[in-house]
Chains A and B, each alone.
Chain A
Amino acid sequence: MNLKTVLRAACAVALIGTTGAYADSHTVTVTIATVNNGDMIRMQGLTEDFTSQNPDIALEWVTLEENVLRQRVTQDIAAKGGQFDVMTIGTYEVPIWSRNGWLVSLNDLPPEWDADDLLPAIRAGLTVDGELYAAPFYGESSMVMYRTDLMEKAGLEMPDAPTWDFIRDAAAAMTDRDGEIYGVCLRGKAGWGENMAFITATSNSFGARWFDEDWRPQFDSEAWANTLNFYMDLMKSYGPPGSSTNGFNENLSLFQQGKCGMWIDATVAASFVTNPNDSTVADSVGFALAPDNGLGKRGNWLWAWSLAIPAGSDATDAAKKFVAWATSKEYTQLVASKEGWANVPPGTRTSLYENAAYLEAAPFAEMTLNSINAADPTQPTVDSVPYTGVQFVAIPEFAGIATLVGQEFSAALAGQQTVAEALEKAQALTVDEMEAAGY
């Protein structure tokens, strides 16, 4: 090999290397922080569709457990770490973070993304002062899931919109402790997103509220005493043993094994309990709206896992392209074509609930839609309140306070203290925390 050949080869290699480096330098990397749930994992598997349409954008994923993710992205966004370009956040974070100037407005997503197609309740929960700060990926409310066979055996018929009194009567009729069947399974595990999500939503239907219009805590009100006494009585009389440690997953497991007559929880559970691969009662599950007490508010919540872009991202345009793709109607079509209509992310768009193929594949679709529509995050309670949020209060202090209050309520359910003691402690600690926060 002579010198000329060697030089030619070296030039060729350098050219190829330079071209590769040029391509690399023009590829924008979007890092997405997300939670581990079925819909998100499915999206990860389908991103080739996005990258083939956008060859100049590379996607990287960080999947974490919900609470770890929340802490991680809060820390990063507050410290301007710039680790993430797209974050999966819930309806609790959106109003707080957007007011802090931490999120990029998504009002300029392309017209074909069709913001007007979003379900009004979900859109309202993600909009602050007219600006949409997160695009909903999937939305959920809560509803009653019940065993149609046990209901029939008890000689009862579940109305579409039951009252709490009916739920108590039905729970009494379905409970068979010797046969390990418990009338009702509800969340008891302490946590602002666990028992407090359920109890706060329930309290709305009993006319209770967290704060009055002057931000004074209301746990000393009669409405809260009624809420908690009813919940404790229901759980202690007709709930499963050890219910003070039961969260979503534990109750899901009990229901799937045929041990719960009724379960009031997230609408997303409907697809799990009707899946014959995992559920032993898949063919005998009915759905109803969350109960009420005739006061004009039902005990259902509203939540949407949504995609938002932190203000510190250096790949905002690419991130917006990804967010628009992942929350579009076309993405729904993509999932349906690859994995069937039953697996599309629910609860975000009106058009999905007008789609006959989806309504046929998902027997719980109509009740999910009605449940979402029954929640109003801007006016969640019977009496007026200074906050937004159905099962939470959209202020930064809420997560900490509600976790402490949840521990008191969980301890009361475990029999470690009375309802009156739990409420007294809840009131005292909420007053202290709110005063410390300057309210």
Chain B
Amino acid sequence: MARTVTTQRKSLNTAIAWGIGLLIFFPVLWTILTSFKTEAEAIADPPVFLFFDWTLENYAVVQERSDYMRFLWNSVIIAGVSTLVGIVVAVPAAWSMAFVPSKRTKDVLLWMLSTKMLPAVGALYPIYLIFIELGLLDTRTGLVIVMMLINLPIIVWMLYTYFREIPGEILEAARMDGATLRSEIIHVLTPMAVPGIASTILLNFILAWNEAFWTLNLTAAQSGPLTAFIASYSSPEGLFYAKLSAASTMAIAPILILGWFSQKQLVRGLTFGAVK
């Protein structure tokens, strides 16, 4: 029987949810507001919230100083291609673990996840040396490979969880109808798992977009994405908060818009299989 929820309780829950939502969003909001202030207003004490002389000067300075489109394009390529390649590699892996499990499947899954527990800096120097040898330093190809590899465990785990919700009998029926393994995955499994695959793509695209350790360490003048663009506006000696905020806003805007438009898909994918 469904539990009755009073209007008062509903209002309280709504208020708490909004409160938490605003708390989480506040740093982003503050960054956006700061980007429209002068440097002096950005550091004013007490801080000014809305009542200041709004200016677009910081955006003009950032536009003039940096080639924003180059950084943006690099971000799109690195995050997009690494996510898509990751999906192509992960779908067969997740299929085999979900539908043809062996007694070591759980161990393999845990081992894959454990690679995420290694501090990234521990692998930096070996990867740097390999990149020098292969000529991959400061290339988008190199970053696509690294991004794909570091996000692969998450992609496989997510897809495995979604695939587990799909009844194996449907795939069996397809097999009985003469479907090959390839067409079983492409024409039967994938369409059924579209919400899960979509949310996996979105989440990993966001993770790759925001990644700042490898992108800062493996790039120089050519392949730096938007994280490198933001880093170029940080300074311990001098006031650059307003310009830094403008650069940050320009860097997060595309992903914020993408998240806004795809939030329904993202939530549906993330809660896929949560209720049986």
Residues of A within 8 A of B231 (CB): 64-65, 68
User: Mind listing 19 A-B residue pairs with CB under 8 Å?
Assistant: A31-B221, A33-B220, A35-B235, A44-B65, A60-B220, A60-B222, A61-B221, A62-B232, A64-B228, A64-B231, A65-B234, A68-B216, A72-B216, A79-B125, A81-B132, A248-B237, A252-B238, A254-B45, A272-B238
Q: Is there an interface contact between A278 and B125, defined as CB atoms closer than 8 Å?
A: no
Q: How large is the interface on B (under 10, 10 to 19, 20 to 34, 35 or more residues)?
A: 20 to 34
Q: Is there an interface contact between B235 and A66, defined as CB atoms closer than 8 Å?
A: yes
Q: Which of B43, B124, B237 contacts A268 (CB 8 A)?
A: B237
Of residues 216 to 247 in B, which have CB atoms within 8 Å of A's CB atoms? 216-217, 220-222, 224, 228, 231-240
Residues of A within 8 A of B (CB): 31, 33, 35-38, 41, 44-45, 60-68, 72, 75, 79-84, 193-194, 247-249, 252-254, 256-257, 259, 266, 268, 272, 277-278
Q: Which of A60, A79, A247 contacts B221 (CB 8 A)?
A: A60
9 further interface pairs, Cβ-Cβ under 8 Å (given A72-B217, A252-B238): A33-B220, A36-B232, A62-B221, A68-B216, A72-B216, A81-B137, A247-B236, A257-B43, A268-B237
**Docked CA distance A237–B203 (Å):** 51
Q: Is there an interface contact between B220 and A31, defined as CB atoms closer than 8 Å?
A: yes
**Docked CA distance A62–B224 (Å):** 9
Residues of B within 8 A of A82 (CB): 132
Residues of B within 8 A of A64 (CB): 216, 228, 231-232
| Known A-B contacts A64-B216, A75-B128, A81-B137; A36 and B240 likewise in contact (beta carbons under 8 Å) | yes
Determine if B39 is an interface residue (Cβ-Cβ < 8 Å).
Answer: yes
Residues of B within 8 A of A37 (CB): 235, 237-238
**Docked CA distance A40–B154 (Å):** 41
Residues of A within 8 A of B138 (CB): 83
Interface residues of B, dominant DSSP: loop
Residues of B within 8 A of A61 (CB): 221
**Docked CA distance A79–B132 (Å):** 8
Determine if B129 is an interface residue (Cβ-Cβ < 8 Å).
Answer: yes
* Minimum CB–CB distance for B59 against chain A, Å: 16
| Known A-B contacts A61-B221, A64-B216, A83-B138; A266 and B40 likewise in contact (beta carbons under 8 Å) | no
Can you name the residue of chain A whose Cβ is closest to the Cβ of B138?
A83
Residues of B within 8 A of A (CB): 39-40, 43-45, 65, 124-125, 128-129, 132, 137-138, 216-217, 220-222, 224, 228, 231-240
Q: Is there an interface contact between B44 and A67, defined as CB atoms closer than 8 Å?
A: no
Considering residues B43, B129, B221, which has the most beta carbons from chain A within 10 angstroms of its beta carbon? B221
Residues of B within 8 A of A272 (CB): 238-239
Can you name the residue of chain B whose Cβ is closest to the Cβ of A31?
B221
Q: Which of B137, B224, B236 contacts A193 (CB 8 A)?
A: B236
Can you name the residue of chain B whose Cβ is closest to the Cβ of A64?
B231
| Known A-B contacts A60-B221, A64-B231, A65-B234; A79 and B128 likewise in contact (beta carbons under 8 Å) | yes
Q: Which of B43, B125, B137 contacts A253 (CB 8 A)?
A: B43
Q: Is there an interface contact between B128 and A36, defined as CB atoms closer than 8 Å?
A: no
**Docked CA distance A44–B124 (Å):** 30
Q: Is there an interface contact between A278 and B39, defined as CB atoms closer than 8 Å?
A: yes
Q: Is there an interface contact between A257 and B45, defined as CB atoms closer than 8 Å?
A: yes
| Known A-B contacts A62-B224, A79-B129, A249-B238; A36 and B43 likewise in contact (beta carbons under 8 Å) | no
Can you name the residue of chain B whose Cβ is closest to the Cβ of A259?
B45
**Docked CA distance A247–B237 (Å):** 9
Q: Is there an interface contact between A38 and B236, defined as CB atoms closer than 8 Å?
A: no
Q: Is there an interface contact between A252 and B239, defined as CB atoms closer than 8 Å?
A: yes
Considering residues A38, A45, A83, A248, which has the most beta carbons from chain B within 10 angstroms of its beta carbon? A83
